Amino acid sequence: MRGEFSRASLGHWPDLTGRARIATGEAGVARCRRVWNQGMPSESQLNPYRCDQCGAANVVAAPVLYQEGTRTYSGTFYSGVTQSHAALAVAPPKPRGYLRPFILWGPAIIILAAWASVGMSAIYKHPSSSVLRSSTVALFLLLCAGANCGMIASLRRIARHNRDIYPHLYRTWERTFICRRCGRALVLPL
């Protein structure tokens, strides 16, 4: 039955003779090169990419592999997401959150500000019999200002990462292809 079909009997047959093959020039960076074949395309020829290491045509984009391995489920009293190991391995990069600096620097700022205010009120109420001297209160105020500067610097670092670095990481993830046979990750250049 297969021998009876010809290009003329099928009408317009797509030209799949020029396929792309993924080749790596340096570690982690891939480039495409054209491979020319003659004859009818097989199932493996329908995928234009091949792994340069093992030669398998089973090369898939990282976002597709992530989507295939992620399942959501829900019921009356439960819901959630399950992921395969492959989906966990090729998960997209995530932007950094702003909560961590508040958790790290917030308690230090609150404690130092509380001690500084207690010391200031003790000095103003009883200037001669105060246990805390003005130099100690000034030290607490300086440490509180330093902790505030540390929190602001952390927040600026997170904002810079989310604005400048994260989009580049996400675009690189979108251009990453994974060979399902050998597991090699290839990044196609723009």
Q: Tens digit of pLDDT for each residue in 27-78?
A: 544 555 445 555 555 544 555 677 888 888 888 889 998 998 888 999 899 9
Q: Is residue 145 part of a domain?
A: yes
Instruction: Determine, yes or no, domain membership for 162.
Output: yes
Measured distance CA(165)–CA(94) in Å, rounded: 11
Answer whether residue 130 is part of any domain: yes
Instruction: Say if 111 falls within a structural domain.
Output: yes
**Looking at the domain assignment, is residue 184 inside a domain?**
no
Residue 16 has pLDDT above 70, yes or no: no
Q: What is the pLDDT of residues 78-90, one digit of tens each?
A: 999 999 888 998 9
Residue 31 identity: R
Per-residue model confidence as pLDDT tens digits over 114-142: 999 988 888 888 777 656 678 888 899 99
Q: Is residue 78 part of a domain?
A: no
Kindly report whether the global pTM for this prediction surpasses the value 0.85: no
pLDDT in tens, 132-170: 678 888 899 999 999 999 999 999 999 999 999 999 999
Task: Give backbone dihedrals phi and psi of 40, rounded to 5 degrees, phi first.
Answer: -75, 140
Kind and range of the H or E run holding 23: strand 18-26
Using pLDDT thresholds of 50, 70 and 90, give the confidence band for residue 186: confident
Q: What is the CB-side half-sphere exposure of residue 171 using CA atoms within 13 A? A: 7
The more confident residue out of 179 and 20 is 179
CA 130 to CA 134: how far, in whole Å? 9
pLDDT at 130 (0 to 100) = 59
The stretches of the chain forming alpha helices (DSSP H) are 62-69, 85-89, 99-125, 134-160, 166-174
**What pLDDT, on a 0 to 100 scale, did the predictor assign at position 137?**
86
108 belongs to a structural domain = yes
Share of the chain above pLDDT 70, in %: 72
The domain in which residue 134 lies consists of: 99-174
**Total tally of structural domains belonging to the chain:** 1
Confirm whether 62 is domain-assigned.
no
